[in-house]
A and B are shown apart, each in its own frame.
Chain A
Amino acid sequence: MSRIQQCFENLRSEGRKALIPYVTAGDPDPSMTLPLMHALVEAGANIIELGIPFSDPMADGPVIQQAMERALLHGVSLRQVLEMVRSFREQNQTTPVVLMGYLNPMERMGYETFAREAAEAGVDGVLTVDLPPEEADDVIGFFKQYELDCIFLMSPTTTLNRARRICEQASGYVYYVSLKGVTGSSALNVTDVATKLEGLRTVTDLPIGVGFGIRDGESAAAVGKVADGVVVGSVLVNKIATYANQPQQARDAIVATIRDMRQAMDR
């Protein structure tokens, strides 16, 4: 059983939902990331999504774009991100780590090399924003070979037929994007999400994480009622922008947000 499956199994038996924070690796500089990952786990995170900086993040809003630009200023790219995961695994062997990013850095490294090195570093899953299942045949074989879960996105525009095709390729969990837009978009409609998830559950038994538009304990708890996992990104990354050059304050603010969400979800 993969670390991700195990994680969802454990939570299910406890009647709890996964809290899945996203941070961009290397933001605002490489020294921030490792202590932040441990602090996130300490504050109640169950899975960590670690963003791979990319020069052209087409699906991201300004908050995560700027995070990636900060990381890229320090030369943080895919290889450095794998090193961070390797370091994280020296102290933590249980919390799943999912890499989230765009295809070109992986293509440039070579899919087999990437899959092998990611698995060796202790990565559990990969979510590639610009890789729909139609184009994924070459890539997925290597991910499966090295036992990396393939996390795919689904969105409000995904028909049930497409969802069925996506779920045939997916493993670990699927990530439902709650609204049409980029990361950091405004309010989500939980009723719409609930309706959509009911449909998706008829085509897959995989856990469903929901992200986009989750800002605080209240929205996390509301989504947690209908989803198996709650993904939160821009609101955390925004703390790093707010506390520029004050890593301790940024980390404290992020930890406080995650604690709020954890408490609200477990209430």
Chain B
Amino acid sequence: MALSKEQIAQRIAKEVKDGYYVNLGIGIPTLVANFVRDDIEVEFQSENGVLGMGPFPFEGEEDPDLINAGKQTITALPGASFFDSALSFSMIRGQHVDLTILGAMEVAQNGDIANWKIPGKMVKGMGGAMDLVASAENIIVAMMHTNRAGASKLLKQCSLPLTGVQCVKKIVTNLAVLEVRDGAFHLLERAPGVSVEEIKKATEGDLVVPENVPEMTF
């Protein structure tokens, strides 16, 4: 069975280690916070100026002066801090953030990523994504393996305008966990019940398949 969005987030949460500062993008990445083990210390950074982001507020306690990068009302945990946008991107470009998790429309086998524009159709803008992917050492992409039309999102080359070049290291989709290395996608794990054949069929780019591909555990 292909994973749900929640399960993708749950699998990615395993990559979050004790002591990490983590930036979560909008969409599936936001859900990762719900699945991080509670016996480790992790701080979530929101690029609009919050470090130590907490859960959504209780009903009636929403504060318009406290939102995350998705413009959702949030809370701040004890020990949190607020700062301006320039300082926020000093954390990001200065590589003080340990892990960046973001969504994508396309990823290429050389690590290129596209996630901000479909020419003539949809132009939302890159927000902080270009700063994040240009700087982070550790980037995980969370996305569905194929788009709504059923076409692969793991490509030889991106067709959409790029967000960053040669930067994606790891991808978790509804079908698989893959590493991007040496100009190819390397299959690491498959979703429970999903065959290597299915993953091959859904991957347009070059896919390296080792002899043994374990099923994901959560």
The finding on whether chains A and B are genuine partners in a shared complex, rather than unrelated, reads no
Task: Name A residues whose Cβ lies closer than 8 Å to a Cβ of B.
Answer: none
Task: Name B residues whose Cβ lies closer than 8 Å to a Cβ of A.
Answer: none
